Amino acid sequence: MATVMGKVALVTGGGTGIGEAAAIALAAAGAQVAITGRRKERLDAVVAAIEAAGGKALAIQSDVSKELDAFAAVEQTVSALGRIDIVINSAGVNEAGGIQSLDLDGWRKVIDINLWGTIYTCKAAIPQLKAAGGGDIINISSTAGRRAAGLFASYATSKHGVNGFTESIRQELGGDNIRVSVVEPGATETEIASSISDPKWSEMIQSHVSKDGAMQASDIAEAILFIVSLPRRANVSQILIRPTTDTAPM
């Protein structure tokens, strides 16, 4: 097995949920970690936890939906930590409604963060991964990237886009020793419901992701560690992770 000891990881959405768990797991395995997000106090708390455990981390307040922010976060990471070897695109939001019931600002919010944020961060980081001699990009999608839901159409659209984008750049970057993977979690207990503006649907999603048998963010972090710890010749291009109790056909 390879190791992440001494590597540098950039994790978007690193202040909460899967991003937070991934940052903590990578740091515990020996990586230096830069985490980005919009809420500085949440980022600082994660950095404090990592440093208390003996790791090294950097908090970068950044909005991935803004191209300049995404590029600046990559620049700050390299300036402070010297390189980038691993990129985890975990920043994400959800919103309720379909094409008739959700206004276009709601659609833009979800697609700008979930899809464009992933694209911006990859575009900015790829030259740094090449300079490091290769590396890993892991994009966090969802089971919604395989099955659409009319009541959460913007989210499903964004995650289908993440899946397609990930496979496209996987084919493009393999020759540069850059492995690209997508992780598609099912119900995982995070704060994703807090981004939904309609209280009724926010409550419904929160109930869904915190139901008995739902996965924890740390479960997804373990899958991320597995991906980056494999020998360089092996690229796990796609992992679909679902609660054991999930019996849906897709």
- Of the residues 73, 155, 163, 223, only one is catalytic, namely 155
CA atoms within 13 A on the CB side of 138: 33
CA angle, residues 153, 122, 220, in degrees to nearest 5? 65
How many whole angstroms separate alpha carbon 186 and alpha carbon 120? Answer: 25
Asked about 120 being catalytic, the answer comes back as no
116, two tokens: 């464009």
Map tokens 């980038």 to a residue. Answer: 84
Q: Which residues contact 97 (CB under 8 A, 6 or more apart)?
A: 103, 106, 151, 152, 153, 154, 198
Contact between 138 and 183 (Cβ < 8 Å): yes
Point out the residues that are catalytic. 155
